[in-house]
């Protein structure tokens, strides 16, 4: 079956963005990334939003990514785009950095609020692939220990950044009095049956709690008696 790559009749938010920002080849790109490079829906969310940001920057009256740019002149265009997107989208980036990048963009004639309003979520990507491009996004649910560890570490970093930002805001508003701030976040997993508690790294290594250890020992004893 031929793929429907034309977004002219697509009424979803992603299709609208393709038309508004005139992003040629975006449908082909996200299908390729999904089917040949195994990109996740969240990967595609980031990819699409960066393309939207890139298009907005490219149509701005003043150049942001060129060699004369004060903020990003020492970087390649792709590196600068990554830095700008991270500053606008990553909760772990400092508020000072976010404000500086936003100011530079607005001085160049870019409406940052409007661009962010056009950003999409991974569920919008899923809907666009399924309904507009007729691409099946269903997958078997499989995950490796390494992938699980990476996801947990990402979540810890994100949570730590959010907490740190809120604490700094409390201090700035004189609702909290601390000279210096260092936020740490520890994650523990507990089996409520045997009350065994693990750090995430230990759980990934041991892969079982005391319940399973006791069960294994009990089964081994029974086998020996039967012999």
Neighbours of 161 (CB within 10 A): 17
Which pLDDT value is given to residue 85?
94
Q: Residue 189 pairs with which residues in a beta bridge? A: 198
Query: Across-strand partners of 198?
Result: 189
Q: How far apart are CA 136 and CA 175, in angstroms?
A: 51
C-beta neighbour count of 218 within 10 angstroms:
10
Is residue 199 classed as helix, strand or coil in its secondary structure? Answer: strand
> Which tens digits make up the pLDDT trace of 34-83?
999 989 999 999 999 999 999 999 888 766 665 455 555 556 778 888 98
Predicted pLDDT of residue 70 = 54
pLDDT of residue 117: 96
pLDDT of residue 209: 84
Whole-prediction pTM = 0.62
Which 3 state secondary structure label does DSSP give 90? coil
Report pLDDT for 115. Answer: 96
Query: Please, what is the end-to-end C-alpha distance for the chain in angstroms?
Result: 61
What is d(CA 67, CA 206) in angstroms, rounded to the nearest whole number? 51
Whether residue 129 contacts residue 31, with contact meaning beta carbons closer than 8 Å, is answered with yes
The pLDDT score that the predictor gives to residue 222 is: 33
In the chain, which residues have pLDDT < 50? 1-2, 67, 215-227
The confidence score (pLDDT) of residue 196 equals 87
> Maximum CA pair distance of the chain?
84
Q: Which pLDDT value is given to residue 73?
A: 53
Q: So what's the pLDDT on residue 217?
A: 45
């Amino acid at each position: 079956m031929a793929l429907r790559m034309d977004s002219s009749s697509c009424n979803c938010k992603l299709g609208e963005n393709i038309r508004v920002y005139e992003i040629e080849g975006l449908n082909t790109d996200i299908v390729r990334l999904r089917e040949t490079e195994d990109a996740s829906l969240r990967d595609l969310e980031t990819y699409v939003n960066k393309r939207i940001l890139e298009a907005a920057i490219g149509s701005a009256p003043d150049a942001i990514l060129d060699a004369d740019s004060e903020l990003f002149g020492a970087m390649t265009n792709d590196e600068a785009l990554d830095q700008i997107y991270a500053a606008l989208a990553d909760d772990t980036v400092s508020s000072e950095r976010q404000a500086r990048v936003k100011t530079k963009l607005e001085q160049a004639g870019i409406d940052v609020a409007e661009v962010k309003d056009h950003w999409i979520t991974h569920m919008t990507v899923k809907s666009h692939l399924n309904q507009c491009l007729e691409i099946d996004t269903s997958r078997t649910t499989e995950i490796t220990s390494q992938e699980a560890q990476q996801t947990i570490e990402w979540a810890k970093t994100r949570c730590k950044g959010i907490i740190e930002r809120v604490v700094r805001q409390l201090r700035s508003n004189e609702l909290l009095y601390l000279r210096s701030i260092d936020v740490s976040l520890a994650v523990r997993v507990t089996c409520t049956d045997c009350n065994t508690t693990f750090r995430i790294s230990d759980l990934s290594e041991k892969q079982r709690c005391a319940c399973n250890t006791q069960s294994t020992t009990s089964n081994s004893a029974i086998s020996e008696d039967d012999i």
